[in-house]
Amino acid sequence: MKFAVFVLLVAFVACSVEGSNWAQRTKNLEKKFENLVNRKAAQAVSGVKNAKYSLQKDVYKFFQYMESKINTTVASAIKDIDILKFEVSVECYTNATKEIVTAQEAALANLLACQNMSQAYQDIEQIAQQAQPIILDIASDVKVILAGVAECGTEAGLAQWKCAFKYVSEELQNLVNQWPDAKKFIVTAERLGNDVELQVNTCLDAPTQVTLEKRIKEAMAHFSSCSQQTMRY
């Protein structure tokens, strides 16, 4: 009788240990899966955010470059007339610099009003608005995916581990192609970046810069004429 009780106790302890082992293995598997899903989701979100910010940064960088080119042209013109600053009348020098500065202000205004520049900003704003819904969808999908493996908690021991293993192995296939909208967004943003660069460059190569150079040339002609009339002996 005592021997039978001993055998039952040993069997019970063995089953408990075995059940505990399967529970721990299931827990470890679920944790690894959770980390994997969260990591892939973070990568997808990061890709979307980076594509969005890169696009916005690029168009701003293009504008800064064009603004700098206009300002450099103006600074060069003023530096040219500076060599005669003390050789001509104050009025002559002041009028010339005013003409050049006015030409600069007009060029910057024309740049902002350029239709292609406006279109570039509209395109960027439109695609930027698509980023947040995609990010929210990713977060929602993560909850759904992890909830699926959590449902295996209705089982116990080996059955729970088998349930979790089956779910994880099937989901690993799906994760390869998970979040296609995020991948599509990144590709679209990259293509739009190239298109925006072309749009913005046409603003620089078109009337804005040509008009600026023409007005500066006129200002220099006026200054030259005025200088000869008001030169100081």
Q: Mark 107-124 as b/e (b = at least 16 C-beta within 10 Å).
A: bbebbeebebbeebbebb
Distance CA 95, CA 111 (A): 24
The Cβ-side half-sphere exposure at 18, using a 13 Å CA radius, reads 8
Q: Please tell me the predicted confidence (pLDDT) of residue 86.
A: 85
Encode pLDDT of 75-124 as tens digits. 999 999 998 888 888 898 999 999 999 999 888 888 777 777 777 777 78
Single-letter residue type at 157:
G
Burial of residue 7, with CB atoms counted within 10 A of its CB: 0-12 exposed, 13-18 middle, 19 or more buried: exposed
What's the average model confidence in pLDDT over 200-221?
Answer: 77
Q: Where are the alpha helices (DSSP H) in 83-156?
A: 90-113, 115-150
Give whichever of 4-13, 107-116, 179-188 has the largest mean pLDDT. 179-188
Q: Supply angle C-alpha 224, 230, 233, rounded to 5.
A: 115
Please name the helix (run of DSSP H) or strand (run of DSSP E) that holds residue 25, with its range, or none. Answer: helix 2-82
**pTM (two decimals):** 0.66
pLDDT in tens, 112-159: 777 777 777 777 888 888 889 999 999 999 998 888 888 888 888 888
Query: Encoding tokens for residue 21?
Result: 């082992």
Which is higher by pLDDT, 16 or 195?
Answer: 195
Q: Name the residue ranges covered by the structural domains of the chain.
A: 30-230
Burial 36-75 (b: 16+ CB within 10 A, else e): ebeebbeebbebbeebbeebbebbeebbeebeebbeebbe
Cα(82)–Cα(60) distance, integer angstroms: 32
* Distance of alpha carbon 54 from alpha carbon 115, whole angstroms: 22
Residue 42's pLDDT band, with cuts at 50, 70 and 90, is very high
Residue 78 exposure: Cα atoms within 13 Å on the Cβ side: 16
